[in-house]
Amino acid sequence: MTNRSNGNDKTLGEVLRSRGVSRRSFLKFCAATASMMALPPSMIPAIANALEKARRPSVIWLSFQECTGCTESLTRSYAPTIENLIFDTISLDYHHTLQAAAGHAAEAAREAAMEENNGNYLMVVDGSIPLANPGYSTIAGISNHDMLMDTAKGAAAIIAVGTCASYGGIPHADPNPTGAVSVSDLIKDKPIINVSGCPPIPVVITGVLAHFLTFGVIPELDHLGRPMAFYGKSIHDRCYRRPFYDKGQFAETFDDEGAKKGWCLYKLGCKGPTTYNACATTKWNNGTSFPIESGHPCLGCSEPDFWDGGGFYKALSIPTEDITKNAIYAAAGAVAAGVAIGALNSAKKKRAASAHQKTTIDDLEK
């Protein structure tokens, strides 16, 4: 965590030079940044010029109903140097998982950062916001809703990191017991960038930060508020197994000849055709591979309501109204026997039970 008072007024160029980073190293950093932002390499000189003059923005990172997977994804991405430099170019003033301060001191840091950088700080949010009962998730006694609305007031822009913050994610899955909503459900008057994924690809997170740093504006977004540079193409469009789909060659099970030959996983439930993300080119674990390359269908984790898609191993099942409603009742019955069940009649319960789909080992072996 960088100290807020540690030179927010310095440009990135000045910060790097004071640390003895050579121009050649800086060019390497810019080349990696261009690649990270999915920008053409011809933009490297422009990126170098812009980053040289960029000033470190204050960043306030709020974590609500989340599993910390998004923070894990980011902090356990690349080891030192390039990624650290991206972090060094922001002043991360509040992040309750990473910061040393706790309790009142931590909240005081957030409030001070908000006051000192009013109108200019970046707000990053991971996790959804529960509306059913504020007690489901609070920080220092403050409800997630109140903290979000209060902190958003002075933000220049908001980055919703992960599918939970972007679209509600797993907490929002039927029956949504906490009444989870996304950031954009609540905030309408600020620019919001959705960096969806469960978790998002780490370089996509840093790529969006780098874009804001470089150009001072938010990147071009798709209809779901995601940066086009990373979410502009479907997994299917960029999948190396696509030629098999085009030829009608599919794996029917996980261990048949088709699977062994690396054929298309569409029939095994791959959501690649309806999922927009950069996994197929950026890949995971420092470019090692991505789920389809490891032989597993895409789950579609960067799309809204991916958890309610009717089964990960069903070929592109789109949830119908009936399935959704029944799943609500069935899950509500399992999780909150009592209050929710009391509201259901027995006929509905039976229908819910019959429609509720569980993924078993048999499903995997079909």
Partner 1 sequence: MSEAAIQQFNIQIGNELTRNVQPLLHEIRHALGNFLECGETRIIDLRSIPLAPGEEDRILSLLGQGEVQAQLNALGPSEIIETEYAGVWVVTHYNADNEIISRFIEITAMPDILRSQTEDAIAAYSRLATTLEENQETNQSFAEKQK
Which residues of the chain form contacts with partner 1 (CB under 8 A)? 21-25, 27-29, 31-32, 34-36, 38, 40-42, 44, 78-83, 85, 238-244, 259-262, 280-282, 286-287, 289, 293-295
d(CA 327, CA 321): 10
Dist CA 129 CA 134 (whole Å): 9
| Residues 170 and 141 sit within 8 Å (Cβ to Cβ) | no
C-alpha 166/C-alpha 182 separation (Å) is: 5
Q: What distance lies between CA 280 and its chain's CA centroid?
A: 16
Least distance between partner 1 and beta carbon 56 (Å): 19
Q: Give the shortest CB-215-to-partner 1 separation in angstroms.
A: 19
Closest CA relative to residue 183, chosen from 170, 165, 156, 158 = 165
Cβ of residue 172: shortest distance to partner 1, in angstroms? Answer: 31
DSSP state letters, 214-277: HHSSPPPB-TTS-BHHHHSSBTTTT-TTHHHHHTT-B-SSTTSHHHHTT-B-GGGT--GGG-B-
Report d(CA 43, CA 35) in Å as an integer: 10
By C-beta, is 216 or 243 nearer to partner 1? 243
User: Looking at beta carbons only, is 322 or 365 nearer to partner 1?
Assistant: 365
Residue 120: both structure tokens together: 């200019």
CB environment 256-285: b (16+ within 10 A), e (fewer) = eebbeeebbbbbbbbbbbbbbbbbbebbbe
Q: What is the nearest approach in angstroms of partner 1 to the Cβ of residue 315?
A: 20
| Minimum distance, C-beta of residue 263 to partner 1, in the bound complex (Å) | 8
CB of 153 to partner 1, least distance (A): 37
How far apart are the C-alpha atoms of 195 and 346, rounded to whole Å? 41
CB of 94 to partner 1, least distance (A): 27
Measured from the CB of residue 206, what is the shortest distance to partner 1 in angstroms?
11
Residue type, 237: D
Nearer to partner 1, 288 or 345 (CB): 288
List beta partners, residue 65. 128
* 27 vs 67 by CB, closer to partner 1: 27
Q: How many helices (H) and strands (E) does the chain have?
A: 18, 9
Provide the phi-psi class of 284: left if phi over 0, else alpha when psi is between -120 and 50, else beta. beta
Q: How far apart are CA 278 and CA 274, in angstroms?
A: 13
- 168 token code pair: 């509600």
* Closer residue to partner 1 in complex, CB, 86/195: 86
Q: How far is the CB of 52 from partner 1 (least distance, A)?
A: 10
